[in-house]
Amino acid sequence: MGLANLVPGISGGTMLLAAGVYPAFIRAVAELTTFRFRRRSLVLLGAVAAAAATAILLLAGPVRTLVLEQRWAMYSLFIGLTLGGVPLVWKLARPATPAVWAGAAAGLALMLLMAFGPAAHGAAATGSAPLLLVSGMAGAGAMILPGVSGGYLLLLLGQYLPILGAVDQLKQVLLGLAHGPLDGPLLGHALAVLVPVGIGVGIGLVGVSNLLRLALERFRQATLGVLLGLLLGAVAGLWPFQEPVAPRPGDLHVGRILSAQDASELPVEEWPLARFSPTAGQILASLALIGGGLLTTGLIARWGRDADESPSASAAG
């Protein structure tokens, strides 16, 4: 789940669904946010949260570097991981009623609008506190919704790489504590980003978990249809063959004209993206990575089904 939330396109909820623990996780979050404390729910949430936090802390830096330096390869992998979640959500949504199709059309239209809107053509400015708060809420909601990727929403909001950078800075500070004095400026910058994001995550978890539980109880087919459409539409914003282009003086960036100094100081994660023509080798490698992503999600789903069907799982149920 932690790794999935670092990846634009694949949802942490989809990974929980694949691993076979999604219904229990949603129930546990809803119980906790309504102040019902059951030992089994607390153990489940603690295990998932600890593992996810460890993955995010350790892998945010490497994933950020790979996205910056090998964007086409990483996006290809992201596409495969995302599409691998479609059968999982489809299985939940069956039978395909008109409500499922209507919800799927709405979810797909929303994601296409986001993918080809202004956010698709340039990054937002590195976040103010309100924007980081909204980013945390969006990321948390997507964390538990199968089909909705927190990383993808952060990418559209322009906060994906800045937040990964802040997480990596926090890791550097924590590692540095064992070898030397505390790096105050580095810690201050990391906390300035991560504190509002963390508050937003808390708000998002409480709100979305209870809203999802109510929506699935009252409008199950339509809700699952929307999730399916969001999952399919996420691929539209992950076209792999694009690369950051260095801004030039006079370019428009987030509503302002860049001076020569502004253009030279703009961090690479805020550079606009431009499509390029791939080589035959890149196309073949991209298809292989997409296939690898599909296979990975499928194997996780099979492992989750096997765990559900094991004698010990049956006895626990």
Tens of pLDDT along the chain (317 residues) come to 787 777 665 677 777 776 667 778 878 887 887 788 888 888 988 998 898 888 888 887 788 788 778 888 888 888 887 788 788 778 878 888 999 999 999 988 887 877 676 544 444 455 578 888 888 888 777 777 766 677 777 777 777 777 888 888 887 777 765 455 555 677 787 888 888 888 988 888 778 777 877 887 888 889 888 888 877 887 777 788 988 888 888 887 655 687 888 788 777 767 777 888 999 999 999 999 999 988 887 787 777 666 555 544 444 44
Sign of CA dihedral 255, 244, 234, 60: negative
Angle 160-162-165 from CA coordinates, rounded to 5°: 110
Q: What is the pTM of this model?
A: 0.65
Residues 93 and 224: beta-carbon distance below 8 Å:
yes
Determine the Cα–Cα distance for residues 195 and 104; give it in Å rounded to an integer: 35
DSSP 226-288: HHHHHHHHHGGGG-SSEEE----TT-EETTEE--HHHHHHS-GGGSPEEE-PPPHHHHHHHHH
Name residue, tokens 């990483």.
74
Helices (H) and strands (E) in the chain, counts: 15, 4
Hey, what are 218's tokens?
């009252």
Residues 247 and 258: beta-carbon distance below 8 Å:
yes
User: Which of helix, strand or coil describes residue 242?
Assistant: strand
Determine the Cα–Cα distance for residues 75 and 77; give it in Å rounded to an integer: 5
* Residues in contact with 270: Cβ distance below 8 Å, sequence separation at least 6, in sequence order: 123, 125, 126, 158, 253
Residues 204 and 145: beta-carbon distance below 8 Å:
no
* Residues in contact with 70: Cβ distance below 8 Å, sequence separation at least 6, in sequence order: none
